[in-house]
Amino acid sequence: MAVAAFEGMAAIFAQHLGEDGPILYTPAVGAAFTLPPGRAIYREQAVDSFNDDETAAVDNVVKTLHLQEADVAAPAEGDRVTVRGAVYMITPPIARDGNGMVIVTLAKA
């Protein structure tokens, strides 16, 4: 019963939190394709680090893209995505959330 409650959650989250513009997905091998608006969630998260004197320094931003497995079943390191006009390369880690989404880490290409 609990599993049935989560069916379709990936689509609901992406629809309401997803990018308004299209995302171009270019696999390292194969043809590029465009994900329609609202099918992926782009996030930028500041990562806190500490200096030697234990003062906080925000010097890093981790960028991730949450994709629906139905759209990109096997994202791989080296694949490229264009989000908001910027080109990124997929880097490890690549993780599945168990609810229909794949979370990929992005680095500037």
Contact predicate 93/76, CB 8 Å: no
CATH class of the domain at 2-108 = mainly beta
The predicted structure's pLDDT at residue 51: 66
Which residue type is seen at 52? D
The predicted structure's pLDDT at residue 22: 83
Is residue 67 classed as helix, strand or coil in its secondary structure?
Answer: strand
Structure tokens, 67:
């994709």
- Per-residue pLDDT tens listing for the chain (109 residues): 444 555 655 555 555 555 667 889 999 999 999 998 888 888 888 777 666 666 666 567 889 999 989 999 899 999 999 998 999 999 999 999 888 889 999 999 8
Instruction: Please list the alpha-helical segments (H only) found in the chain.
Output: 2-6, 9-17
Residue spans of the domains in the chain: they are 2-108
Residue ranges of E strands in 1-70: 23-26, 33-35, 40-50, 56-68
Burial class (CB in 10 A: 0-12, 13-18, 19+), 82: middle
Q: How far apart are the first and last CA of the chain?
A: 43
